[in-house]
Amino acid sequence: MGIEEDKANVVTLIEDFLGKGDFSTLERLAMPDFVDHNVPQGMPGGMAGAKMMVQNIRTGFPDFKVEVEDAVAEGDRVAVRITASGTHTGMLFNVPPTGKHAKWAEIHIARVKNGRMVEHWFVADIMSMMRQLGLMPSPPQH
């Protein structure tokens, strides 16, 4: 597999697994023993933890969407910048629904081997999401 195929596979993983909740995409495009470096404490690692995370997000935001803004690849790494959005109408990691819509940025980085993800890191602007949902105060305006 070449770098462009790796990039396309990671974008597909983001769009289909995270964006649509299609677990078969994770099983097809990630190694069974892949490491997710951002699974919350108390959740299992690997595929089981990734599936639980996506299920929690999609329960909290049933209309959850992702829009891929950028995808870059070099060597065995692929970075994808997305805009995520949804309306918080379900439980989200034990947080009751607020009924509010939120839109936030995320960056996902995958290490790929033979076209399949073997490691994953991500950073999400959770603070912005929480402010939009009314779960955290906005910073004071000066």
28-79 pLDDT per residue, tens: 999 999 999 988 888 888 899 999 999 999 999 999 999 999 999 999 999 9
Q: Give me the mean pLDDT over the 87-101 stretch.
A: 95
**Residue 114: closest CA among 28, 1, 23, 25:** 1
Q: CA nearest 118: which of 22, 26, 4, 51?
A: 26
Kindly report the pTM of this predicted structure.
Answer: 0.92
Q: What is the distance between the alpha carbons of residues 13 and 83, in angstroms, rounded to a whole number?
A: 15
Distance CA 6, CA 4 (A): 5
Second CATH level (architecture) for the domain 3-132 = Roll (3.10)
